[in-house]
Chains A and B, each alone.
Chain A
């Protein structure tokens, strides 16, 4: 969309910058606007932006160079980013890529013959229930097949701008398969606020604490305690909704934001009421930019209804509003302190902790950060009381959890299960076909084999932010592992030694293994690498990046054994289909 690349003038730059205040917090949105219009951030623009925001040029370059969705070099007028999630691969992504590359005589990640088109890959786009998927100039296209690819090729050949492409191409299915208390819950906008206003913020806090609600992002920190800590820390409070749902295989926030935006935004508003925050941000992952218009519309509705802005719900002096910020292709921004750095216009590097964001967050002020699903749950706890949550789940993991189920099952999509549900039950419900392994919690989570299918969904057993990928007996486990290691190598921020170097080495060693170039004697090296990443890394990304290798080495060593070079001849290893270890 926009004018042809390379033709950026001084006037263009000045016109864009005139619409932004001189606040370094606006760096990322400004860069995104340049990228959208010119398909890169031109050098003169970087200098002008640095001057406008009073930042060193190297700071601006450091930020541009960090995000996958920003670039120094012109990218195609049509930029196609194919989802590199293993589930997309299993749904035929490779033949789609091949077809696209053949059409435009180009190879991914390299200079293209047709300068108008660039084809590259990106991390999971959050459409595993309807892949293979791609982003075209930032907008998601799902269910790619020969027919849809031909349609895209024709549109590009005729030079039709992406905003004039037929809407059917951009249609995203909801695939809500099993609604529970949260997905069934109805909200008349403002009702939860109205109910909360009948009592004090303290009463709502008590209600939250009694409910036992724990953060739905996966770590499970008690929400009530977090809110209380934030409320009790003096300062100018901020509030952030983490909608940077980046764990491969997760897509449940996509539907929560689409169909339950009022509940999410009302939960944020309740958070503002309790903590005293006047400014809130919803940090939406760049891959979900197609959701932005819906969310902006909901925000407008709420402002009109007096549910955002000044004197919210008639409560004198309760002023709060929400700004949507778009990510730019960085999994690390799901880590809350990296997300805050991103909002502040810095390279999103996880902070040293303590102090925690709850006391020192945005601009060093107390900041309440919660996941989309957590805010939605808060709304219904405020409306219906703590029992609403307690009715389901277990003592230590009350309530239900949304799962994004993908892979080898007949009904991939979104499911709401009470905590405590066994993996067997989940697999039966979604129609899994002879599952031989499940990745619970995405690449950073747990790989479990059939002998563990009696385990349960819970914070103290199998915890997940929502990703649930199913693999049947025909899948090559090492292909899954290679995909996961590639993901971490691409997403490591590069700050600390073990993660920066370790993720790349791990990717290389696993590639060697799959190409039959690894000897059994080299196995300890792989394990040594995994141990140092797990123990010495700065943040959760590095600490979990060796999980796929380490857990499968422990639980299914036979796949590795078969792939080692026996004679050192370097012959290609045979694919290793999964089998039941029983």
Chain B
């Protein structure tokens, strides 16, 4: 058993085990650090940048920064939340996100993040990109308009499902989610709707078909509780489970 040490987040003393990141320590202590690309079951990634925290004047992502003893971390500050809001605005203008007509509404982490960070509008012009919709798979829909390139599906397919269904293609603003099939179609991959990869998307880019309105609007995850509360509860369960099994 690794030895317990402590760090400080926003003045609160937080225990952690050696090898944990700031994000893991925070979530286990019930402290919410906003994030989209991080997932408790996956290797840390550090691409969405929403989890930036301030450590000794430096801005660093909490999900990839190792926890070290005595570290003083600023998390829930107006300055950092402002920055996170800007990052979120960038994600919203980059894709085609139309919450009122999206079946993921209420279960979408991107949308819930908008409420959590009180994003009311965006000063940035929208891109309105043209991206291919892939409805070739009988059980899973890929709507690239809603993809934020967090690579949760890419990692889940590789790390949890033992498949390599997804990858990123292109470069820069033209980056796109691609799938592992000569036809380029999801229906020609070995993805199953029970795969982690099919169910781990924080937005509505990947959704399991024929389940869209099983839970009515108003009764969904983030309709009744905040993103922070739901995330901490789920993460604690997954992280504790990981520790028991690992």
Contact = CB atoms under 8 A, between A and B. Distances in A.
Most buried by A among B49, B50, B179: B49
A58 B52 contact: no
Given A504-B127, A532-B87, A538-B47, A494 B167 contact: no
B152 to A, nearest CB: 14
A503 B172 CA distance: 9
A6 to B, nearest CB: 18
B47 A495 contact: yes
B182 interface: yes
A253 B180 CA distance: 39
Contacts of A498: 49, 87, 90
Contacts of B47: 495-497, 538
A498 B86 CA distance: 9
Interface residues of A, number: 43
Interface in A47-89: 47, 56-59, 61-62, 65-66
Nearest to B94: A501
Contacts of B167: 56, 58-59, 61-62
Contact of A494 (B48, B52, B64, B170): B170
B93 A536 contact: no
Given A65-B170, A352-B46, A508-B125, A500 B181 contact: no
B19 interface: no
Nearest to A536: B49
Contacts of B44: 352
A577 B125 CA distance: 29
B90 A505 contact: yes
A61 B64 contact: no
Specify which of B124, B166, B171, B175 lies most central, judged by the most chain A CB atoms within 10 Å of its CB: B171
Contacts of A43: 182
Interface stretch (A194-202, A406-414, A444-452, A485-493): A485-493
A500 B127 contact: no
Interface string A335-362: 0000000000001000010100000000
Contacts, number: 119
Contacts of A508: 125
Contacts of A524: 123
B91 A497 contact: yes
Interface string A492-521: 111111101111110011000000000000
B149 A59 contact: no
Interface of A (DSSP majority class): helix
B46 A496 contact: yes
A489 B175 CA distance: 12
Contacts of A62: 167-169, 178
A10 B39 CA distance: 43
Contacts of A66: 169-171
Contacts of B91: 497, 501
Contacts of B181: 57-58
Given A56-B164, A536-B49, A504 B83 contact: no
Interface string B162-198: 0011111111111100111110000000000000000
A561 interface: no
Contacts of A61: 167, 169, 178
A193 B205 CA distance: 58
B102 interface: no
A494 B124 contact: no
Nearest to A55: B164
B182 A47 contact: yes
B160 to A, nearest CB: 16
B180 A58 contact: yes
A500 B172 contact: yes
A168 interface: no
A383 interface: no
Interface string B77-119: 0000001001100110110000000000000000000000000
B219 interface: no
Contacts of B125: 505, 508-509
Contact of A504 (B165, B172, B180): B172
Interface string B122-154: 011101000000000000000000001100000
B232 to A, nearest CB: 23
B201 to A, nearest CB: 16
B179 A58 contact: yes
Given A352-B46, A352-B64, A508-B125, A497 B87 contact: yes
A491 B46 contact: no
B164 A494 contact: no
B173 A489 contact: yes
Given A352-B64, A538-B47, A528 B86 contact: yes
Nearest to B87: A497
Contacts of A503: 172-173
B68 to A, nearest CB: 11
A489 B178 CA distance: 21
Given A504-B127, A536-B83, A496 B49 contact: yes
A491 B172 contact: yes
B217 interface: no
A535 interface: yes
B90 A502 contact: yes
Given A65-B171, A501-B173, A504-B127, A57 B46 contact: no
A30 interface: no
B180 A500 contact: no
Interface string B219-235: 00000000000000000
B59 interface: yes
Contact of B86 (A354, A492, A532): A532
Given A47-B182, A498-B90, A58 B169 contact: yes
A529 interface: yes
Contacts of A501: 90-91, 93-94, 173
Given A58-B164, A352-B44, A525-B124, A494 B87 contact: no
A490 B44 CA distance: 27
Interface string A34-54: 000000000100010000000
Nearest to A537: B49
B166 A497 contact: no
Contacts of A535: 52, 59, 83
A482 B113 CA distance: 33
B118 to A, nearest CB: 16
Contacts of A490: 172
A500 B178 contact: no
A505 B182 CA distance: 33
Given A58-B164, A66-B171, A492-B172, 6 more contacts: A57-B180, A65-B171, A498-B49, A503-B173, A529-B124, A532-B90
20 contacts: A56-B180, A65-B178, A66-B170, A352-B64, A492-B172, A492-B173, A494-B149, A496-B46, A496-B47, A496-B49, A497-B90, A498-B90, A500-B173, A501-B90, A503-B172, A504-B127, A509-B125, A535-B52, A535-B59, A537-B49
Pick the 4 closest A-B CB pairs, nearest first. A494-B175, A58-B167, A56-B164, A58-B180
Interface of B: 44, 46-50, 52, 59, 64, 66, 83, 86-87, 90-91, 93-94, 123-125, 127, 148-149, 164-175, 178-182
